[in-house]
Chain A
């Protein structure tokens, strides 16, 4: 129908499947996000560690390259669980900064502009709204965390052989689950903070605060009481433990040495909190975020 036919007309055409409508939100959000050249540049920079990882894997299997570069094969980092875990952790750090840039405005902007009634007066539920907003963060972070890591795992398997692939399948699952837990946590936290604060800058600040202030406090507790249980309030430490657990590199006991008057005064062996405790705290944090979102994401807030 031509635009010059100015009459009210019902829409009688085909409709999209209901399950796919939440994807409308990320599609429109990406257009906005990648309009910023600065963000696009930063997002590209986030792939540099992946490139380095790919080069390292390649070097391991290219005798000519090793000969040209005069590198001793023994000096090269071994390609094992520690190798992939290290790069998963690096990408996790980048993922945090991408979340800081993308996450806070998503819900906050809608709340500030009273846009929620416009979403929710349509055949579009609050759950779909939250999933739609979270998927903006989830899709972006997936693209820079577990997807390239799994591709590199397949690259390594291809170069090393099918035997290596079978023997190290646990690494692939660890890459996937560790990344997914991290990006889910980031997505939930960023959306909850965004819904709570409404202002982008303050929401970004709050997100930084949530990660760093408890970490500092936890470290103070650890040092004061010669323990590691303070890690339970540090999201970074929790994720580190959970990731180590998934990669099978988690060690509970660690040594805490107090140097007093320039000499070793005493040596105390302290234990990291058990893995289940880390998982439990992460679960509680996610549950709080969901409760907050459920409370704040409403068409209208009722003033009682």
Chain B
């Protein structure tokens, strides 16, 4: 029972619709020298982990920078935790951690010194900053190397140090811009595991910008796909996964016609596709066990039952083909 409750709680936590908006985009547009980079972005993002996808030049990094207050919007605005990015930038930045895409360091510093400095700039007193710097570096797995100069770090270690400085002050929202860039598979796994751990802690929301669909699929519950500075697709991955579980593809042996008709009688849509295959869309209240029951009744063997798997890659490719979408 406890396990069932825990699973249900997890399901509630995973569904972005159950949360207050983290980021609220209100017609956000950004222009650089008259060239539109972001155009009229609208929508509410609520997920614990929000994926920002798009091809190169789609405006992902510009969106993050605008939310951080680095670029002023040319029109519209956005709210983070209810605070306006144009008027409350400083308050917003006190709630945010940012891991930039490019190498960003302060030269000639050890990791612990660097992370401590970043914590102090976020407003932590010196002693607390030092303590948190040690903790953050241990947390990301750089505990043993924390006194080494950052100049001597490998690419993977530098990425982890960047993550440490982003979380050292315990922000409520963390922007991760291409966190797995240039990492080898074990380092990538480690980074993904850390992102998921932070997400599952429930103490911080994450915005993960990446062009690697797998990273986003593994970490995020909500996806925003940008194309040419516009919102191409908003997708609640959790809802998508749930609805995909209603689409069944059955491979059967036996008389399909009465079997399919009986499924239809339950109110489910179905289609016979030949080669002993039946496609079924389950209605609310109808479960897979009902299908097995009908199959048994009509003496039909179900040799294979698979769910529709609309991968993120499919969603992404569709978004690239189609026009714009909204929330």
Contact = CB atoms under 8 A, between A and B. Distances in A.
Interface string A104-147: 00000110111101111111110000000000000000000000
Nearest to A117: B100
A11 B169 contact: yes
Contact of B106 (A118, A125, A303): A118
A44 interface: no
B128 interface: yes
A13 B124 contact: yes
Contacts of A119: 121
B103 A113 contact: yes
Interface stretch (B42-50, B86-94, B218-226, B228-236): B86-94
A117 B70 contact: yes
A263 interface: no
A132 B135 CA distance: 27
A109 B106 contact: yes
A32 interface: yes
Interface residues of A, number: 41
Contacts of A12: 170
Contacts of A1: 131, 135
B68 A299 contact: yes
A60 to B, nearest CB: 45
A3 B134 contact: yes
A8 interface: yes
Contact of B117 (A28, A120, A302): A28
Contacts of B298: none
Interface of B is mostly: mixed
B138 A21 contact: no
Given A1-B131, A28-B113, A112-B107, A10 B172 contact: yes
B22 interface: no
Contacts of B96: 121
Nearest to A32: B108
B113 A302 contact: no
A27 to B, nearest CB: 8
B245 interface: no
Interface residues of B, number: 51
Contact of B90 (A117, A123, A298, A299): A123
Contacts of B170: 8-12
B21 to A, nearest CB: 20
B105 to A, nearest CB: 5
B123 interface: yes
A118 B172 contact: no
Interface in A1-44: 1, 3-16, 18, 21, 24, 28, 32
A187 B65 CA distance: 30
A154 B292 CA distance: 99
A298 B70 contact: yes
A28 B129 CA distance: 13
A13 B123 CA distance: 10
B120 interface: yes
B165 interface: yes
A8 B197 contact: yes
A70 interface: no
A7 B100 contact: no
Contacts of B134: 3
Contacts of B124: 11, 13, 15-16
B71 interface: yes
Contact of A304 (B32, B94, B167): B32
B38 interface: no
A4 B138 contact: yes
Contacts of B102: 114
A164 interface: no
Contact of B70 (A6, A15, A300): A300
B201 A7 contact: yes
- Please provide the 10 A-B residue pairs with the shortest distance between their CB atoms, ordered closest to farther: A304-B33, A11-B170, A10-B170, A15-B123, A121-B98, A123-B94, A299-B70, A114-B104, A8-B201, A24-B120
Given A15-B124, A121-B98, A300-B65, 4 more contacts: A10-B170, A113-B105, A118-B106, A300-B70
Interface of A: 1, 3-16, 18, 21, 24, 28, 32, 109-110, 112-115, 117-125, 298-300, 302-304
